[in-house]
Structure 1
Amino acid sequence: MRERGRTRRLLGLGARTGGALLRTRLGGQADWRGLGEALFEGLSELKGPAMKLAQIMSQWDDLLPPDLAEELARLQRQAEPMPWASIRRTLEAHYGDLEATFREIEERPFASASMGQVHRAVTLDGESLVLKVQYPGLAEVLESDLAQVRRLMRLGRWFKVPQARLDALFEELASSLRGELDYRAEAEALARYRARYAHLERLVIPEPLPALSGERVLAMRYVPGTPLRELEGADDALRQGVATVLADWITEELFTHGELHADPHAGNFAADDQGRLVIYDLGAVIPVPEPRLRAMMRLLDATLAQDPMAMDEALLQLGGRQGQGAPLALYRESAEAVAPLFAPGEQDFGDVRVHRRLRDLTPKVWAAMDRLQPPADTLLLSRTLNGHYWNLVRLGARLDMQGRTRPLLAWAKG
């Protein structure tokens, strides 16, 4: 009965979303604010894959209507928590008598996400830690929810995304969500990242506690910090320091280790009282094979050279652009929009003129999507990089992107 109720709610939200899209295609006006409020309320309660998909969508600040994006972004910071009684049952199933392990567990979570929520706790020895607890019953409804998410993703055909690409993107999402169900894998990722980036003194990754962790509960040492989304009005030196570490870390992730943190919403990052970047969540990490990375850098090289024919050839080498290809004018306009970010010297990620140009370009790119046909894994990687880009925007980063990319472009040609 509970599963059927979830299905009806998801289908209802999907129908409302489809109706809004249909009205815009017919030249009408959609109530994006009202749709966003309905999606926030419904998905905040239901949790799971559909909420995860909405959080992913909200990271496309330059794609969604502003009113809709603003409401969906609330899912990253204001999602309704699961009642404590349900969370307590999961904890008791894992630990047994909670009083035998913990002096205190805060009943109200300080973070609620799509697949679980986080509670502060104190052990009998007085050690402060956090417990990431998976929502009860999520594993049992996951496949049913994914079936409904697949239906929702079919709306992407209205944006001219080929069905084969949507199917492949769905499989990437489904595989990631299934992997997120086992918190032991995230504990291993935390340990791996802590060892890998120990040389970055201004980067902090919480230490997992394997003895207190399991499949549906992840225990970590508590690392306090100010969430990245709350740093927009902070001291400029603090924001620039955090932005520099974030950019250095992403570059090393990609070009040294061939991986990428694939859940870049702002709630997963913070700054501690020493101004260090804190990364809280490693539930989603994707591999980035070297051939794919080299091909994407060759596309960037052609874009910075503002060479439409080379851009088209690079897209072919990526595995996209099967068929006629996009108009050369679109390639030129795309190159002109991106160029300011890679001009000589420090570039200001807070420059709204750049964002406005990229936002104006987005509908044209999506209108040509059936001719561009980017590979599904490139869509996922692009979405992730887009999320990290917007984190740099929120920080008002000033970075020498030309200096950063020059050796990487040379590496791609080697």
Structure 2
Amino acid sequence: MRESGRTRRLLGLGARTGGALIRTRLGGQADWRALGEALFEGLSELKGPAMKLAQIMSQWDDLLPPDLAEELARLQRQAEPMPWADIRHTLVEQYGELDARFREIEQRPFASASMGQVHRAVTHDGETLVLKVQYPGLAEVLESDLAQVRRLMRLGRWFKVPQARLDALFEELAVSLRGELDYHAEAEALARYRARYAHLDRLVIPEPLPEFSGPRVLAMRYVAGTPLRELEEADHELRQQVAVTLADWLTEELFTHGELHADPHAGNFAADEAGRLVIYDLGAVIPVPEARLTAMMHLLEATLEGDAMAMDAALLELGGRQGQGAPLSLYRESAEAVSPLFQPGEQDFGDVRVHRRLRELSPKVWAAMDRLQPPADTLLLSRTLNGHYWNLVRLGARLDMHARTRALLPSAPA
């Protein structure tokens, strides 16, 4: 689709969304299911920034109408693939004659995402690879798409999302998408993570293959696995093993190496036949400066102590909190909602009472966002950790977070 056609399509979807919002404001009824279906169909075809934004929005199930959130969530797992002819064109640009390099390439993608899709391939030596192929022309239209997405995001104010939050979300989205186009950086991240976490025998990271990779194709050895989203009905022991590995890896990422995998949607993780955690995508890895991590641990410690004034001071340390800050009662409610997960002993991440309370609290936090004003990088870090939290919820994890965090808090003995 040419750039002008993409722009018209995006504006049309925005107009339809705006119309639904206006009807609800005027006391009418919007067909959120129909709107969600239209957005799913349109964004599945367009790919790119708008699809990525919708995937992020689908996680806001505490704010969006349920029918709309449910349809947008399909973009995480059922997005329509790009036609094979378009993908083949990119592969031919990379490899030349495909039959000379591969015995077989599956035309149906192994996975489809916002910026590219993954196809299995078999070399003439019989080795199975996966080829992550960037959508044709996406790099050329990215900035134009981002400009249209910024306009669409103004509709977030109808959901009472503060402008500061929308601006920060846009900057986060733009930086993330520009980074996801850099397959060389992702190949380097795969190699770095494989070396760094080689001692974690329950963690698997696919090996990048430079001899088959290029600017728009990233090749990796194929690692079979059951997607995390399909493990909810699996054996409890398997789910617990995967959850513990995920928690161990995230802790080491943050507190030893100062980095974090920043695309936590469930499709990026799986369990192999040995019950090991597989991480498929490292297109979004963010640095976490020590000063930022220390400030966040100050906030966690103040939260666990129920000290509203110390929580406010920690937000100032993080670089947020404007004017008079949030009401102290909101800090206290936040502490009461979070603290149960950090009580001594194993805590059940599947306990619906905990996330129900967090969901009930979320609109109040968002309403105070104009006064809290967390920096954009903190918002990305917070959203990422929230995504990993929900992965642990999906697994029904039982973890002793008190023991895991006790030595990491600022007041812990040296």
Considering the TM-score relative to the shorter chain, is it more than 0.5? yes
What is the one-letter code of the residue matched to 1:8?
R
**SS in structure 1 at match of 2:364:** helix
User: Are positions 1:313 and 2:304 aligned together?
Assistant: no
CA distance in 1, matches of 2:356, 2:236: 23
What is the one-letter code of the residue matched to 1:214?
G
User: Are positions 1:70 and 2:70 aligned together?
Assistant: yes
Partner of 1:99: 99
8 Å Cα contact 1:228/1:270 also seen in 2: yes
Q: What percent of counterpart residues are identical?
A: 88
8 Å Cα contact 1:208/1:219 also seen in 2: yes
Please, which moves more after superposition, 404-413 or 268-277? 404-413
**SS in structure 2 at match of 1:320:** coil
8 Å Cα contact 2:16/2:35 also seen in 1: yes
What is the one-letter code of the residue matched to 1:218?
L
What is the one-letter code of the residue matched to 1:271?
A
CA shift for structure 1 position 143: 0.8
Where does the alignment leave 5 or more consecutive residues of structure 1 unmatched?
none
What is the one-letter code of the residue matched to 1:113?
A
What is the one-letter code of the residue matched to 2:243?
A
Partner of 1:125: 125
8 Å Cα contact 2:105/2:122 also seen in 1: yes
Partner of 2:325: 325
Partner of 1:56: 56
What is the one-letter code of the residue matched to 1:43?
L
Partner of 1:198: 198
Q: 1:155-205 CA deviation, whole Å, 9 max, x = no partner?
A: 344456554554344233212211211211111110011001001000000
Where does the alignment leave 5 or more consecutive residues of structure 2 unmatched?
none
**SS in structure 2 at match of 1:144:** helix
8 Å Cα contact 1:102/1:123 also seen in 2: yes
What is the one-letter code of the residue matched to 1:226?
T
CA shift for structure 1 position 34: 2.3
8 Å Cα contact 1:160/1:368 also seen in 2: no
> Structure 2 matches for 1:338-377, cutoff 5 A?
338-377=338-377
CA distance in 1, matches of 2:40, 2:73: 9
Instruction: Provide closer, same or farther for how the CA distance between residues 61 and 297 of structure 1 changes in structure 2, counting only shifts above 3 A.
Output: farther
8 Å Cα contact 2:406/2:412 also seen in 1: no
User: Are positions 1:337 and 2:333 aligned together?
Assistant: no
8 Å Cα contact 2:209/2:219 also seen in 1: yes
**SS in structure 2 at match of 1:386:** helix
Partner of 1:185: 185
What is the one-letter code of the residue matched to 1:121?
A
> Structure 2 matches for 1:250-289, cutoff 5 A?
250-289=250-289
User: Are positions 1:242 and 2:262 aligned together?
Assistant: no
**SS in structure 2 at match of 1:408:** coil
CA distance in 2, matches of 1:315, 1:272: 40
Please, which moves more after superposition, 309-318 or 23-32? 23-32
8 Å Cα contact 2:203/2:277 also seen in 1: yes
Partner of 1:213: 213
Q: 1:186-244 CA deviation, whole Å, 9 max, x = no partner?
A: 11110011001001000000000001001100110000000000000000000000000
Q: For the aligned residues, what is the CA RMSD?
A: 1.8
What is the one-letter code of the residue matched to 1:243?
A
Partner of 1:230: 230
8 Å Cα contact 1:348/1:399 also seen in 2: yes
Instruction: Provide closer, same or farther for how the CA distance between residues 133 and 412 of structure 1 changes in structure 2, counting only shifts above 3 A.
Output: farther
Q: 1:61-99 CA deviation, whole Å, 9 max, x = no partner?
A: 444333222211111110000111111000000000000
Instruction: Provide closer, same or farther for how the CA distance between residues 398 and 150 of structure 1 changes in structure 2, counting only shifts above 3 A.
Output: same
CA distance in 2, matches of 1:383, 1:100: 44
CA distance in 1, matches of 2:297, 2:259: 15
Please, which moves more after superposition, 11-20 or 367-376? 11-20
Partner of 1:380: 380
CA shift for structure 1 position 391: 0.4
CA distance in 2, matches of 1:25, 1:399: 44
User: Are positions 1:141 and 2:121 aligned together?
Assistant: no
Normalised by the length of structure 2, the TM-score is 0.96
Please, which moves more after superposition, 213-222 or 17-26? 17-26
CA distance in 2, matches of 1:256, 1:96: 43
CA distance in 2, matches of 1:402, 1:30: 45
What is the one-letter code of the residue matched to 1:240?
Q
Normalised by the length of structure 1, the TM-score is 0.96
Instruction: Provide closer, same or farther for how the CA distance between residues 28 and 348 of structure 1 changes in structure 2, counting only shifts above 3 A.
Output: farther
How many pairs are equivalent?
Answer: 414
What is the one-letter code of the residue matched to 1:387?
G
